[in-house]
Amino acid sequence: MPLQPGDKLGRYEILSAVGAGGQGEVYKARDTRLDRTVAIKVLPEHIAKREDLRARFEREARVVGSLKHPNICVLHDIGNQDGAGYMVMELLEGETLASRIEKGALPLDQALKFATQIADALDRAHRAGVTHRDVKPQNIMLTRDGVKVLDFGLAKSSAKPGPTEATLTAVLTTEGTVMGTPQYMAPEQFEGKEADARSDIWAFGAVLYEMVTGQKAFQGKSYSSLLGAILSADPAPMSVKPFTPAWLERLVKRCLQKDPDDR
């Protein structure tokens, strides 16, 4: 049941709802002990109700909380109340990269600036042994202080990261058009293999391609055609966007190699 203004999770008082999605409900809240405004994400049931996934999340959350990187959303606290797990993060003002891309391709200098910040954040996390597992424009916030990567260690926390029936239902519209996360999943994730840093590199390449061209790297009118493109096709050349440097095309192509060892 959604939380209402005035409800409490531990020392946090809910102020208003911010949004909801497959990775949980997000609320604006007040930390009554430190008197600061924060964001609280209530974990989805598939994580909160499974002891193994909850333990894994809590273990990774401790690492994420210690990363201290300017381009990673700060994780303040985690908790559990009445069976509801939650994470407390800094409250960010801005728009998601997904919202920005909807307005069109980014200017090259801006896309490269954002890409550098995203790469720095991922590199910091990977060096600490943390894989994001769901790098995509919806999980990247653009703020006045630069890029903030959200949801480290939360998205894709499952023993078998390949798409489940529930995932397919969530990403297919009634017309059968593929949307969302699968377009940023590396080939090995569709094979049920555990995502690692190389899977994040693939997703980073797909995000960079989309920032520069305004188009998704892999597209399909159905789940099957999208899967076929990811597993066996290459994206359209980025040179269709005027003045795209050759080195950038090579970099993206390297990120999007089908074999993880080639990235």
Report the catalytic residues: 134
Four-residue CA torsion sign, 117, 119, 120, 124: positive
- Residue 257's SS3 state is coil
Q: Which residues, listed in sequence order, are joined to residue 37 by a DSSP beta bridge? A: 30
- Residue 20's SS3 state is strand
- Residue 42's SS3 state is strand
DSSP H helical ranges for the chain: 45-48, 51-65, 97-101, 108-127, 165-171, 187-190, 197-213, 223-232, 246-255
Q: What is the DSSP-derived secondary structure letter of residue 161?
A: -
Specify the residue for token string 């009634």. 174
